[in-house]
Structure 1
Amino acid sequence: MLHDINVQIGAELRKLREARHMTQEEFAQDCEISRAYYGRLERGEHSITIELCKKITEAQGIHISDLFINLP
């Protein structure tokens, strides 16, 4: 079950990144995290923390709830 939510959040991160026409490298750099770690988040291999959600959404200029709005 936990893996499913990680995959779903990863998909939302990917949508966000692709909507901005950014590579994983560019997106990760913009959010001040490593590209390798970001890639694992996007693939759902790691659980994202609320702190990291906040960091990503602040860097991208969106509200934190936007990451979760399309999740079941």
Structure 2
Amino acid sequence: MHQLAKALGQKIRIQRKAKGFSQDALALSCGLDRSYMGRIERGEVSITVEKLYRIASVLECEPHFLLPESLSLHELASDLAASN
């Protein structure tokens, strides 16, 4: 799922910058640690649905807007195999 987390993080970063938030400001507004927000944007962690909704709310967008385009089953299977 690393590819999925990475793609999600990239979309969050793009939307954050489009809305004019610094990483610190977004993290503070979401009630998250700045270093954790950095890890989210780099795709180093998988976030809960609750955090996705919280981030989307602060960024004034629908949560599905932050989700990456669907990955193929082959890409997901390869990613899962690599993480095990």
Q: CA RMSD in A?
A: 1.1
Superimposed CA distance per residue, residues 21-62 of structure 1 (whole angstroms, 9 cap, x where no aligned partner): 221101111212110100000000000110100111122221
In 2, the alpha carbon distance for the partners of 1:6 and 1:47 equals 6
- Percent identity at matched positions? 31
Letter of the structure 2 residue corresponding to residue 29 of structure 1: L
TM-score by length of 1: 0.87
Q: Between Structure 1 and Structure 2, whose CA radius of gyration is higher?
A: 2
Structure 1 portions without partners, runs of 5+: none
Q: How many residues align?
A: 70
Residue aligning to 2:81: none
TM-score by length of 2: 0.76
Letter of the structure 1 residue corresponding to residue 15 of structure 2: L
In 2, the alpha carbon distance for the partners of 1:23 and 1:60 equals 12
**Secondary structure of 2:20's partner?**
coil
Q: CA deviation at 1:8?
A: 0.2
Higher mean displacement: 43-52 or 22-31: 22-31
**Secondary structure of 1:29's partner?**
helix
Letter of the structure 1 residue corresponding to residue 28 of structure 2: Q
Residue aligning to 1:15: 14
Residue aligning to 1:54: 53
Letter of the structure 1 residue corresponding to residue 32 of structure 2: I
Displaced runs of 4 or more, over 6 A: none
Residue aligning to 1:24: 23
